[in-house]
């Protein structure tokens, strides 16, 4: 299977993670306002599962390092496969809660609270279980990225004249989403071998771990998405008939969105062997910077904003870049 042999290559893979995790949301925007998130999400999850299989039979079955994809699945112990599946279930719950929080409390509240908690708590959890890199630099980088998220929220709040009133329900959902998002990566990491080149018997390697993670996402979505279709946080209940009303292009956008997200997840897990789980996860959560770049320069979400708003956006980008630089340096 393909395994990065150097720290710089692992960092490049983490940057790909950051780009993918910050970009997949564009596919939802391309489906248009008439296509509800609950319907988009079925195709998104299908894309995650399909890519995990494709990756396993390609990169996961090439080369002489480690175990091949099929061989790794056959020898895996049940509790390790279960941990990876649980990671997928937790991720799916967190992702749905975050979107619900954004619809209720607004992006300026839900995103900083949810992603901020996920980033800070996730890096701490992964570092405690698998210390790798300079702790001072690592947590200094995390602090700067959290500052950047707060600056982004301030800019959005100043720019938006129709910001929804913050509700207790929205805050609760945001906090819940952030805590769950901080936990999912650790479950996947705990299922994996300490050395990808010479993996322990019964443990998973990156490609099998991603596959079982995707199964967890897929299976849990049958329940989670059915529930939010029947009892949506906003709008009228949906039926499966509504899903089949979508055009081929709309369904393809959802599948592509899932593929893009899972490319990011896969690169993060593959890179963790050289970069460590804390740094891989932390750099991946720099996705907020990429999402902000899309919002500012492509979707023109801050078009016509005032000078104070532009200054906040500029400081946000500087803080993010400085934080990401510290994370990279922490593992060097």
- DSSP code string of 292-319: HHIIIIIS-TTTT--HHHHHHHHHHHHH
Question: Residue 301's pLDDT is what?
Answer: 67
As a whole number, mean pLDDT of residues 216-238 equals: 93
pLDDT of residue 158: 79
Q: pLDDT for 280-323, tens place per residue? A: 998 888 787 787 788 778 877 677 888 998 898 899 889 988 98
Q: Give the span between the Cα atoms of 319 and 325, in whole angstroms.
A: 10
User: Can you give the three-state secondary structure of 317-332, one letter per residue?
Assistant: HHHHHHHHHHHHHHCC
Q: Kindly report the average pLDDT of the chain as a whole number.
A: 89
C-alpha 43/C-alpha 152 separation (Å) is: 30
- What pLDDT sits at residue 108? 59
> What pLDDT sits at residue 165?
55
Reported as a single tens digit per residue, the pLDDT across 107-147 is: 656 677 787 788 889 999 999 998 988 999 999 999 998 88
- 103 — pLDDT class (breaks 50, 70, 90): low
The confidence score (pLDDT) of residue 161 equals: 56
Better pLDDT: 174 or 257:
257
Question: Which residue, among 304, 294, 247, has the nearest Cα to 19 in the 3D structure?
Answer: 294
To the nearest whole percent, how much of the chain has pLDDT over 90? 60
pLDDT above 80 (res 49): yes
| pLDDT for residue 77 is more than 80 | yes
Give every CB contact of residue 321 below 8 A, 6+ residues apart in sequence: 289
pLDDT at res. 285: 82
| Global pTM value | 0.90
Angle between helices 168-190 and 78-105 (to 10 degrees): 160
Integer Cα distance of 300 and 241 in angstroms: 34
Predicted local distance difference test score (pLDDT) of residue 332: 72
Beta bridge partners of 219: none
CA–CA distance, 287 with 127 (Å, rounded to integer): 20
* pLDDT score of 58: 96
User: Which of 2-11, 24-33, 203-212, 215-224 has the least mean pLDDT?
Assistant: 24-33
The confidence score (pLDDT) of residue 273 equals 93
Q: What is the pLDDT of residue 91?
A: 95
Give the length of the chain: 332
- pLDDT for 315 equals 93
pLDDT of residue 136: 95
User: Which pLDDT score, from 0 to 100, does residue 238 have?
Assistant: 95
- List Cβ neighbours of 127 (8 Å cut-off, separation of 6 or more): 133, 135, 138, 276, 277, 278
**pLDDT for res 320:** 85
**Radius of gyration, CA atoms only, the chain:** 19
CA dist 123 and 129 (Å) reads 10
81-92 tens-digit pLDDT: 999 999 999 999
Please choose, from the candidates 87, 85, 57, the residue with its C-alpha nearest in 3D space to the C-alpha of residue 215.
85
Distance CA 282, CA 284 (A): 5
* pLDDT tens digits, 140-193: 999 998 888 888 778 877 776 544 555 677 778 888 998 999 999 999 999 999
If we measure between CA atoms, which residue out of 206, 251, 300 comes closest to residue 17? 206
* DSSP helix/strand/coil, 134: coil
Closest CA to 66 of 79, 75, 78, 77: 75
Average pLDDT over every residue of 46-63: 96
Looking at residue 241, its pLDDT comes to: 95
């Amino acid at each position: 299977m393909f395994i990065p042999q150097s720290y710089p290559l692992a960092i490049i893979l983490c940057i790909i993670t950051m780009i993918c995790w910050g970009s997949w949301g564009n596919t939802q925007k391309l489906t248009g306002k008439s296509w509800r998130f609950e319907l988009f999400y079925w195709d998104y999850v299908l894309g995650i599962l399909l890519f995990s299989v494709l990756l396993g039979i390609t990169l996961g079955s090439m080369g002489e390092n480690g175990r091949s994809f099929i061989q790794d699945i056959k020898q895996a112990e049940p509790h390790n496969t279960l941990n990876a599946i649980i990671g997928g279930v937790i991720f799916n719950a967190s992702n749905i809660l975050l979107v619900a929080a954004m619809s209720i409390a607004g992006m300026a509240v839900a995103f900083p609270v949810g992603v901020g908690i996920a980033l800070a708590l996730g890096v701490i959890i992964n570092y405690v279980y698998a210390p790798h890199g300079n702790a001072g630099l690592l947590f200094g980088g995390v602090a700067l990225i959290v500052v950047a998220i707060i600056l982004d929220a301030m800019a959005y709040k100043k720019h938006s004249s129709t910001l929804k009133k913050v509700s207790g329900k929205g805050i609760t959902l945001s906090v819940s989403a952030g805590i769950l998002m901080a936990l999912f990566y650790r479950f996947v990491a705990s299922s994996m071998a300490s050395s990808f080149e010479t993996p322990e018997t019964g443990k998973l390697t990156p490609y099998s771990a991603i596959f079982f993670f995707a199964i967890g996402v897929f299976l849990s979505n049958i329940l989670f998405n059915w529930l939010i279709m029947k009892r949506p946080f906003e709008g009228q209940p949906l039926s499966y008939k509504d899903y089949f009303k979508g055009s081929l292009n709309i369904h393809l956008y959802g599948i592509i969105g899932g593929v893009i997200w899972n490319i990011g997840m896969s690169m993060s897990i593959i890179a963790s062997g050289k970069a460590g789980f804390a740094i891989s996860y932390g750099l991946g959560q720099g996705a907020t910077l990429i999402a902000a770049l899309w919002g500012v320069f492509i979707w023109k979400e801050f078009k016509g904003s005032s000078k104070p708003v532009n200054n906040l956006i500029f400081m946000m980008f500087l803080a993010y870049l400085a934080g990401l630089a510290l994370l990279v340096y922490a593992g060097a």
